[in-house]
Structure 1
Amino acid sequence: MGKLIVIASFTNGSQDELDMAARNFVEIYSNLPGIERTGRYRRINGGLSIALAEFSKADGAELHVPDSGKSEVQCEISKGYEENFIKRGDVYGDPRDLPILYSVGFPVPDEHVSDLASWYDKEHTIILHGCSQWISTRRFIMDESSPSIFGRHLALHYLSDIQALRSPEREAARKTAWRDRLATMPWFTGVYTVFLQELPD
């Protein structure tokens, strides 16, 4: 079992209120034992802020629901475990510092997780990383109670430029026999979200 990731999703408020709630989450989790990294992101078209906390061990820490500061702001906490972390071989530094996070969540049943994971690792990610702006991909298996935006299988893609989403490599990655077979499955209904990273205060 890989490292633990905890994701807080904040909705139902102004963007400033959602951002403040994400800041509160980061402040709390930054001081927990075993914490390795935190980050804040804002959905590119607004209305959703998320905060991530990564722990060096799979067991991590007890989940804390931070005070959003506004009663109407809604917070959902989910957790998952890293399955794979792949980055382009010509890239130096930490891809998690990049400005754009592209999340893809699938509500895949447990009996199909290994098939989806194999497709990601053996074909899909390889094609995507042919794009010079598609820097890294991480896969997580999330708890069954995670919000639908993350699904059971979550891929986090780290991009240096949003143009990667319009690249020939992405188009090619979506036109293979393996993907076509998976697309016939009723659960193959991904939730695709683009986030912009918020710099530390």
Structure 2
Amino acid sequence: MQGTTILFSEMTPPPGQEAGFHDWYDTEHIPLRMAVPGFVSARRYRDTAEGAGGFLAVYEMDAPGVLASEAYAGVKNRPTEATRNMLGSVSGFTRYIGQEIAVRRRTEGDAASALEAPLLYAVWFNVPAERCGEFDAWYEQDHVPLLMEAPEWLMVRRFRVTDADPLPYNRLALHYLSDGSALTSPAREKARATPWRAKLAAEPWFKGTYGVFEAIRPRQRPPVT
């Protein structure tokens, strides 16, 4: 159920068209992709920011080449009329492809339950190439261990972003939370107050973008054959 590559995609339906958007997404958009070899699962979320109105889908794939396959091209390049109409009406579109570079779980080996977390906290950075080594080391050695002191922090996955639209991020962290209280916990305050973080935060590029997403649908998987 957990792949090594993700597709992180957001869309905002037009006002008054949410029901049709959800029906299209649940019964056509995701099922067509779940039939493509290499897609492992997909889950949908709602952006919790006030007034956002956007929805997120995170697709799990077993390799980055899935999106370059003939099977995927057949789905993407031959859209149905419903898909053409819907994609022509949505806004707030984002598309980030990430390859997993690190993962830490509260219970090692228990990927399935962590993936079912009700909240997803996403953090993007655009890190200069020459600073990626230290940034990654800080995140793995200093930041994540302290965050995981909060019992609500179930898993942290980090990705190298290989395709970014619309903003040029090259690092994405997905934090799987059992409860939003993790974001105001002493563990997070501690993680954000270390000397190593303060050193990086003083650099002009250290400006993260953050989003909190609430799961709205069960995870979809490929059909059983």
TM-score by length of 1: 0.87
* CA distance, structure 2, for counterparts of residue 69 and residue 88 of structure 1: 42
CA distance in 2, matches of 1:107, 1:95: 26
The reply on whether 1:196 has 2:214 as its aligned counterpart is: yes
The partner residue of 1:145 within 140, 161, 164 is: 164
> What residue in structure 1 maps to residue 96 of structure 2?
78
Aligned to 1:41: 45
Alignment partner of 1:143: what SS?
Answer: strand
Distance change >3 Å, CA 68–CA 142, structure 1 → 2: farther
- Which fold has the larger relative contact order, with Cα–Cα distance below 8 Å and residues 6 or more apart in sequence? 2
- Give the share of equivalent positions with the same residue, in percent: 32
Structure 2 residue 33 is matched with structure 1 residue 29: yes
Mark the CA change 1:99 to 1:91 in structure 2 (over 3 Å): closer, same or farther. farther
Deviation at 1:52, TM superposition (A): 1.4
Structure having the higher Rg: 2
1:156 aligns with 2:157: no
1:109 corresponding residue in structure 2:
128
The separation in 1 between residues aligned to 2:129 and 2:38, in whole angstroms, is: 29
Q: Which moved more, 1:171-180 or 1:42-51?
A: 42-51
Gaps in structure 1 of 5+ consecutive residues: none
- What amino acid is the match of 1:10? M
- Structure 1 residues 146 and 7, CA gap change in structure 2 (3 angstroms): same
Alignment of 1:185 with 2:203, yes or no, is yes
Compared CA separation, residues 33 and 198, structure 1 to 2 (3 A):
same
Aligned Cα root-mean-square deviation (Å): 2.5
Q: Structure 2: which 5+ residue stretches go unaligned?
A: 221-225
CA distance in 1, matches of 2:5, 2:109: 24
Whether contact under 8 Å (2:157, 2:175) holds in the other structure is: yes
CA distance in 2, matches of 1:41, 1:53: 12
Match of 1:134 among 153, 160, 163: 153
User: Counterpart amino acid of 2:96?
Assistant: S
In structure 2, the residue matched to 1:58 is 64
**Aligned pairs, how many?**
199
How far off its partner does 1:61 sit? Answer: 2.6
Between Structure 1 and Structure 2, which shows a larger proportion of helix residues? 2
Normalising by structure 2, we get a TM-score of 0.79
Residue aligned with 1:94, SS: helix
C-alpha contact (below 8 Å) 1:101/1:159 kept by paired residues: yes
